[in-house]
Amino acid sequence: MAPAPSSSSERRATVIDGKAVAAEVTEKIDAAARAFAAATGKRPGLAVILVGEDPGSQVYVRNKGRAAERLGFHSVQHTLPVTVTEAALLELVENVNADDSIHGLLVQLPLPAHIDPKRVAEAIAPSKDVDGLTPINIGRLASGDGAHALIPCTPAGSVILIRRALGNDLTGRNALVIGRSNIVGRPVAQLLIQENCTVTIAHSKTRDLPALARQAEILIAAVGRPEMVRGDWVREGACVIDVGVNRLPGKDGDKARLVGDVAFEEAATRAGWITPVPGGVGAMTIAMLMANTLTAAARQTGFALILDL
Ligand code: GUN
């Protein structure tokens, strides 16, 4: 459907309801998990390792555990002190790798500065790597073999939201990804290449980013800078996916405010579709973690999973 014609200051964009799409996706995961349990007599198992006491990470990890429990998954959380050594963390990863009741393992990021996140990612069994951060899964995705990879959750969820907005065929669409992180920017670019988009990846050294952004039919902001993408960067009718979650201090004793990487109200006057923060991509990330855990469990037990999201 064509978006409504714009006037300069009113919101024209359709706001993409990430919670509603996540609920719909989670229902499909639930049905597939029941079929898996009936056939194998097993529950998908997810282990999450949290190092330290960062309040944001604590909330994320709690929400992941709750989502797993709601689906009847076996859910385990390991909480380690911020002073834990890298060697002790690697030993825990090895133990979880060897635990047959656990099919998916996620080490919450960021890690304390004395621990090398790359070394930790490389220690995770690729078959249990529900974050898609091991070199094997990165390589499979980058070589066009996403079907046999585990794919990072936020990128996978973002592409589902884009397809809900623009339709399942994204062939030839011009996409700009702002940000080149291993967890979002790079993998979402790979997924969009797989969808036959023409993809540009922008980063802190990119010249004239606003001009590049104005060409994008699909604009993904994943930089972690509050409201960096302004309204006049947005092409008329574009699909804007805001991956940023930035906590701004409240004014005059108000509660902290969450904002994305996109200046929402400005961008919504020009975009055709836009995700809000909160209520956009975030909900999809957890749903896709559940999908990855079920996918990992099915592969490890030889169950032929049918999960078309
Ligand atoms: N911290 C913020 N987002 C993520 C994520 O998707 N995975 C992990 N492991 N840590 C995160």
Pocket test for ligand 1, best of 62, 106, 151 (most atoms within 8 A of CB): 106
* Whole-number pLDDT of residue 176: 98
Calpha distance 156→254 (Å, rounded): 34
The CATH H-level superfamily of 152-282 is NAD(P)-binding Rossmann-like Domain (3.40.50.720)
**Mean pLDDT, residues 9-37:** 96
**Mean pLDDT, residues 182-186:** 97
- What SS3 state is found at 74? strand
Nearest CA to ligand 1 atom 9: 108
Residue spans of the domains in the chain: they are 40-127, 152-282
pLDDT classification of 6: cutoffs 50, 70, 90: very low
**% of the chain beyond a pLDDT of 90:** 93
pTM of the model: 0.95
* Whole-number pLDDT of residue 250: 82
* Whole-number pLDDT of residue 35: 97
Residue 1 has pLDDT above 60, yes or no: no
- In our burial notation (b when 16+ CB lie closer than 10 A, e otherwise), range 209-246 reads beebbbebbbbbbbbeebbbbebebbbebbbbbbbbbb
**Mean pLDDT, residues 168-192:** 98
Mean pLDDT for the chain overall: 96
Residue 170 has pLDDT above 90, yes or no: yes
* Whole-number pLDDT of residue 202: 98
Nearest CA to ligand 1 atom 11: 109
Query: Among all residues, which ones are annotated catalytic?
Result: 64, 108, 131
Q: By mean pLDDT, which of 9-18, 81-90, 297-306 is the weakest?
A: 9-18
**Mean pLDDT, residues 252-262:** 88
pLDDT classification of 249: cutoffs 50, 70, 90: confident
Amino acid identity of 90? L
Residue 11 has pLDDT above 60, yes or no: yes
Instruction: Write out the H or E segment, with its range, that includes residue 259.
Output: strand 257-259
**154 CB near ligand 1 (under 6 Å):** yes
Architecture of domain 40-127: 3-Layer(aba) Sandwich (3.40)
